[in-house]
Chains A and B, each alone.
Chain A
Amino acid sequence: MWNYSEKVMEHYRNPRNVGSIEDADAIGEAGSLSCGDMLKLYLKVDDKGIITDAKFQTFGCGSAVASSSILTEMIIGKHIDEARKITNKQIAEELGGLPPEKMHCSVMGHEALEAAIANYYHEEIKPHEEDETVCYCFDVSKSFLENEIKNNNLKTVEDVINYTKAGGGCGRCRGKISEILDSVNAVKKVEKLTKTQMIIKINNIIEKYISPELRKDGGDIELIDVDENKIKVKLSGRCQVCNRSQLTLTHFVEATLRQHIDENIEIIQVKND
């Protein structure tokens, strides 16, 4: 038995705004029958851009119906651009929370809303072929996963399964999901570090992993400056005159820093004038 909030139960028992709108100004769809849940959202929008009516039809579990139902209540009366700002987190919060395994229901609500608004503005939704499919069981694309990981601050493969269903079927794509998590979260890490933090971190890594190796060969390295992911260093001692110093920089120094800080780090060598 799921630990559903009172509000979730209230909404699947008495879903609001069920049905379709014949002359809808926008229709958005998310999910599919084979995936086990699907939502169709219909919007009526007046000439000022206010959503005057919203209706839904959902194939899915209790929390899917509740998410759809509350979503219609959240957007009716709002300007379409205001509605666009609603996140899946807000849908879940409005329901008094959802069990972690059911967060994907709020994501589906959000997806259908996005699709409906895109439909309203006649925006083109990125054709699927251009995007890489990661999870074939539930047909989830890479760009969708990257967005959800960023927006919901997802940390583990389990989080991703709970929010997007990707990886929850045969499980074959879990390695790929883990890679995507690493790359999205690695980028975030770099964004978060201030320049001072970055300098301290790099110096620590140099002290611990890089300098000791170079010193063995009678050389050393010094950090000169950091400009986002470009890291300026100066080689000293015998490294300065070593004709293989460029190899040392890319294969050892850059690789070590990439491993510890970020994949995108670039090493720039500053030479003595």
Chain B
Amino acid sequence: MTNSKLIYLDNNATTKVDDRVVEVMMPYFSQYYGNPSSIYEFGGKNANAIKDSREIIKDFIGAKNQKEILFTASGSESANTAIRGVLSGDRSKNHIITTKVEHPCVLNVYKQLEKEGYNVTYASVNSSGELNVEEIYDAVNEKTALVSVMYANNETGAIFPVEKIVEKVKSINPNTKVYVDAVQAAGKININVKDTQIDMLGISGHKFHAPKGIGALYVKSSVLLTPLIIGGHQENGRRAGTENVPFIVGMAKAALLAQEYQNVEDTKVKYLRDKLETGLLSKIYNARLNSSASIRVPNTTNIGFEYIEGELILLNMNDIGICASSGSACTSGSLDPSHVLKAMGIPFTALHGSIRFSLSRYTTEDEIDYALENIPPIIEKLNNISPFQNELKELKRRKGLI
């Protein structure tokens, strides 16, 4: 029954590595395998490759100079390095502000820091997933060491006004540092730290068609960072470990391609996302839009199917070759549903049946048409299994369908 079709609508989880990325990486495995730190030309070639890549990533996020870019192994490492690295100094400044909807790779660092004696303020979001920025401003005080806000949310795609936030935060306390987790923004929208006061910003290659296992961290030149990984002199002494040359080269290529395809994100990807979203909402009476933030990345939609459960929806979609992900508890093995949807106050009726669809430049109109044709019957089938027949009927009545 498993379908040979593959319709990949889970690009916020990871993306297909672009063939052109693979191509530029290949020589750095078996041909140019020298250590970039070596003195001879064979190693030096790799040092140059890293330098060129750093220049590309610098331009990709709009940094001022190459020294502001550190290569890491993941978005999680970027976040851990930034947060831990900037906090190590003054323990009297023990206050941190973040949001309730950060990715676990950021959120769990703060949970840990709370155990280590930091006070953390978690700003809330509204029912559309938009950040209540006033809560951040109200919380900033002279003890605030760090404010940490994601650029775009992975589950809803909501874009947070990080530039405005950093400006306001710095006007209240100029010494407060600001970290921006831009993992879900990079490659989807244009990032330009140059004109902002953002101190640190993290990205991850595999979210924009580079392979898994490579990330980058922007650290403004005026920011002192204590390294997380201590050892050799690499990355200006801020991240020890022999550089992962092929992956660095690959991520740089992916960044170039992302810039080249930025208009595709804004046009084709957005068009297809909107087509999928409006199509599902109009065809399925128990579908409700969770991701209703007014500013969103172009590729993400999050839809709650009321009175049915997310894992079951995903399993049935898998059978017809459609890949997406769910905010339901059951899919992750944890028993708690998505902290993001809970923070938004999504009603229980839709919370467990929430599905995130995330597209990419590879998504085609045929695929979206296929999804629109085949998802509604699945939902209909699952509605029939639900014990909430009366509630479903009521929903139908309210929509004027019976």
Interface residues, chain A, with chain B CB atoms under 8 Å away: 9, 12-13, 15, 18-20, 29, 33-34, 36-40, 57-62, 64-65, 101, 137-138, 161, 165, 168-170
Contact = CB atoms under 8 A, between A and B. Distances in A.
A187 to B, nearest CB: 28
B349 A33 contact: yes
A61 B387 contact: no
A-B pairs, top 9 by smallest CB distance, nearest first, are A168-B335, A61-B330, A57-B387, A61-B311, A40-B387, A34-B348, A62-B315, A101-B333, A36-B352
A19 B381 CA distance: 12
B388 interface: yes
Contacts of B308: 59
Given A33-B348, A59-B309, A61-B311, A18 B334 contact: no
Interface in B312-330: 312, 315-316, 319, 328-330
Nearest to A102: B330
B379 to A, nearest CB: 14
Given A65-B312, A138-B335, 6 more contacts: A18-B384, A36-B330, A36-B335, A59-B386, A62-B311, A65-B385
B328 A61 contact: yes
A36 B386 contact: no
B209 to A, nearest CB: 23
A60 B330 contact: yes
A62 B312 contact: yes
A60 B336 contact: no
Interface in B365-402: 384-389
Contacts of B215: none
A60 B307 CA distance: 9
B337 interface: yes
B1 interface: yes
Contacts of A9: 315
A168 B334 contact: yes
The main secondary structure of chain A at its interface with chain B is: mixed
A36 B385 contact: no
Nearest to B308: A59
B328 A165 contact: no
Given A15-B385, A36-B352, A40-B387, A61 B309 contact: yes
A62 B328 CA distance: 12
B10 to A, nearest CB: 12
Given A169-B335, A169-B336, A59 B319 contact: no
A58 B335 contact: no
A34 B309 CA distance: 11
B349 to A, nearest CB: 7
Given A36-B352, A169-B336, A58 B319 contact: no
A64 B333 contact: no
A13 B319 contact: yes
Contacts of B329: 36
Contacts of B335: 36, 137-138, 161, 165, 168-169
Nearest to A68: B385
B309 A60 contact: yes
B333 to A, nearest CB: 5
Contacts of A12: 312, 315
A159 to B, nearest CB: 14
A40 B307 CA distance: 14
B342 to A, nearest CB: 11
A15 B382 CA distance: 10
A60 B389 contact: no
Contact of A18 (B330, B337, B349, B385): B385
Nearest to B318: A1
B349 A57 contact: no
Nearest to A165: B335
Contact of B312 (A38, A61, A168, A169): A61
Given A13-B1, A61-B328, A61-B330, A33 B312 contact: no
A62 B382 CA distance: 11
